[in-house]
């Protein structure tokens, strides 16, 4: 399965993946999914939002156990983020059949559409629509960089966009959703474990810092006469790093806009975007408040006006404790040989997080030795991937075969 997917959407120069939603590469991944379903005698369907499903047993029976992830990628993404979960789902089913498992509940494998949001700027569109967290009207407004709307892109890919929207009937059939994913950090590498369980997705947000000063000549304006917003911005970047380190959080200024943006001009405006995430709300509030306070002090000192606007915010997602504990118990008995499986938080968003308000969800992580993700350097060792498959099979057996 890994070899089948390897060439799809791969950039020949960077070796990164370009599998944006509703493109040719995405279509090839979808065809592959359908073939995997049909090869195994599973009932294949797409739902009203273009998510793919492969069913073992009666989809309408209720209390289904569902596993899967996504096949799309960020621009120049890695091979594992998403596909590892889908491939592992099919491999886990093969493993359970080889074990002679008897299923007492329906089982489904899914590929959620447009998880990365690389094309339309909003992540997890397929699961958001299904969970009613993105309205049909708002989805119709989404456009890519070329001005193509989401419905136009779906239609061009052969899907009917007229029925997209909340799908509570489908969610009501699901008793548990488990997503396996490559870890996007180094916690498992540091703990020496191949597989871990997710505790929560960290709360995160984006803030825009506008530092306004006075444009002037870089050669003739004396230093003491300057109102240079770049200085306040630079000091704020350092403060963000310091406050994040103190709190055990992360804070990043990764995007900046400068006016007039000339080599020989003192800027009139520096606009920087802060992305910050922490394990809990209080910590995140503390970090962002401290960064803003530092920014104001620096701005005042240099005669700079500062506006801070929160552009987006996603609260903490706690995965259901009962399901998480059940996974821990199952894996402790099988995979861990009596050893506890690490439970870790993550700073990245996932379909499982979106669905967690509607249905019980859980996640398994597979060790990523460098922690690198969203890059061609993303990696997981084959032995660890196989350990992930066995862990997922154990979990599905524990949930769907009793
Ligand atoms: Zn992912």
Residue 295 alpha carbon to ligand 1 centre in Å? 34
Q: Is residue 131 within 8 Å of 166, Cβ to Cβ?
A: yes
Residue 383 alpha carbon to ligand 1 centre in Å? 20
Q: How far is CA 78 from the centre of its chain?
A: 13
Residue 386 alpha carbon to ligand 1 centre in Å? 18
Give per-residue burial for 54-79: e unless 16+ CB within 10 Å, then b.
bbbbeeeeeebbbbbbbbbbbebbbb
Residue 256 alpha carbon to ligand 1 centre in Å? 26
**Residues 76 and 184 placed together within one structural domain of the fold:** yes
Residue 336 is predicted with a pLDDT of 66
Residue 31 is predicted with a pLDDT of 98
Long-range pairs for 82-87: beta carbons < 8 A, 24 or more residues apart: 82/115, 82/116, 82/181, 83/2, 83/5, 83/29, 84/180, 84/181, 84/182, 84/366, 84/380, 84/385, 84/388, 85/179, 85/180, 85/181, 86/33, 86/111, 87/1, 87/2, 87/5
Give the residues across from 276 on adjacent strands.
205, 251
Residue 367 contacts by C-beta under 8 Å, 6 or more apart in sequence?
183, 188, 189, 193, 194, 195, 196, 380, 381, 384
- Phi/psi region, residue 243 (left: phi>0; alpha: psi -120 to 50; beta: rest), is alpha
Residues with CB under 5 A from ligand 1 (ion): 81-82
Residue 397 alpha carbon to ligand 1 centre in Å? 24
Q: State which residues form the domain around 127.
A: 2-202+316-400
**Residues 372 and 285 placed together within one structural domain of the fold:** no
Count structural domains, the chain: 2
Going by pLDDT thresholds of 50, 70 and 90, the confidence category of residue 214 is very high
As a whole number of angstroms, the distance between CA 95 and CA 400 comes to 14
Residue 314 is predicted with a pLDDT of 86
Angle (CA) 249-69-184 rounded to 5° is 25
As a whole number of angstroms, the distance between CA 303 and CA 213 comes to 7
- Of 250, 282, 314, the residue at which a domain comes to its end is 314
Residue 382 annotated as binding site: no
**Residues 134 and 167 placed together within one structural domain of the fold:** yes
Residue 181 annotated as binding site: yes
**Residues 86 and 28 placed together within one structural domain of the fold:** yes
Neighbours of 41 (CB within 10 A): 8
pLDDT tens digits along 156-203: 999 999 999 999 999 999 999 999 999 999 999 999 999 999 999 999
Residue 144 annotated as binding site: no
As a whole number of angstroms, the distance between CA 12 and CA 207 comes to 36
Residue 370 is predicted with a pLDDT of 93
* Domain CATH for 219: 3.30.70.360
As a whole number of angstroms, the distance between CA 402 and CA 395 comes to 11
Residue 70 alpha carbon to ligand 1 centre in Å? 7
**Residues 110 and 164 placed together within one structural domain of the fold:** yes
**Residues 370 and 240 placed together within one structural domain of the fold:** no
pTM of the entire structure?
A: 0.87
Helix axis angle, 321-333 to 382-400, nearest 10°:
110
Ranges of beta strands (E only) in 202-300 are 204-212, 216-217, 250-259, 265-266, 269-277
The residue-averaged pLDDT of 74-98 equals 97
- Of 278, 295, 314, the residue at which a domain comes to its end is 314
Q: Is residue 187 within 8 Å of 343, Cβ to Cβ?
A: no
**Residues 211 and 192 placed together within one structural domain of the fold:** no
pLDDT tens digits along 262-318: 999 999 999 999 999 999 999 999 999 999 999 999 999 999 999 999 988 888 999
pLDDT tens digits along 349-397: 899 999 999 999 999 999 999 999 999 999 999 999 999 999 999 999 9
């Amino acid at each position: 399965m890994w070899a089948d997917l390897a060439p799809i959407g791969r950039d020949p120069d960077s070796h990164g993946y370009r599998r944006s939603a509703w493109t040719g590469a995405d279509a090839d991944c979808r065809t592959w999914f359908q073939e995997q379903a049909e090869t195994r005698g599973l009932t294949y369907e797409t739902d009203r939002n273009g998510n793919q499903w492969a069913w073992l047993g009666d989809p309408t029976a209720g209390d289904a156990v569902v596993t899967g992830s996504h096949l799309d990628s960020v621009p120049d993404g890695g091979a594992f983020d998403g596909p590892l979960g889908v491939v592992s789902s099919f491999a886990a089913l093969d493993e359970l059949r080889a074990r002679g498992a008897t299923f007492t509940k329906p089982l489904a494998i899914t590929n959620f559409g447009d998880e990365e949001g690389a094309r339309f700027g909003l992540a997890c569109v397929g699961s958001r629509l299904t969970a009613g967290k993105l309205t049909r009207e708002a989805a119709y407004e989404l456009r890519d960089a070329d001005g193509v709307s989401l419905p136009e892109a779906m239609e061009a890919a052969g899907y009917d966009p007229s029925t997209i929207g909340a799908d509570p009937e489908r969610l009501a059939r699901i008793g548990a959703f488990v997503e396996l994913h490559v870890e996007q950090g180094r916690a498992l590498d540091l703990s020496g474990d191949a597989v871990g369980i997710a505790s929560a997705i960290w709360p995160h947000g984006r803030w825009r810092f506008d530092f306004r000063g006075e444009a002037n000549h870089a050669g003739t304006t004396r230093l003491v006469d300057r109102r240079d917003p770049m200085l306040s911005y630079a000091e704020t970047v350092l403060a963000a790093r310091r406050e994040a380190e103190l709190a055990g959080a992360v804070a990043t200024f990764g995007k900046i806009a400068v006016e007039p943006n000339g080599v020989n001009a003192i800027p009139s405006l520096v606009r920087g975007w802060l992305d910050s995430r922490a394990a809990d709300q209080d910590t995140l509030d503390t970090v962002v408040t401290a960064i803003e306070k530092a920014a104001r002090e620096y701005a005042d000192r240099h005669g700079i006006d500062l506006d801070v606007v929160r552009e987006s915010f996603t609260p903490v997602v706690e995965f259901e404790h009962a399901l998480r504990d059940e996974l821990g118990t199952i894996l402790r008995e099988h995979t861990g040989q009596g050893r506890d499986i690490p439970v870790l938080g993550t700073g990245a968003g996932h379909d499982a997080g979106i669905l967690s308000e509607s249905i019980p969800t859980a996640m398994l992580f597979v060790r990523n030795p460098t922690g690198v993700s969203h890059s061609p350097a993303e990696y997981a060792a084959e032995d660890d991937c196989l350990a992930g498959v066995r862990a997922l099979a154990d979990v599905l057996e524990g949930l769907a075969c009793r």
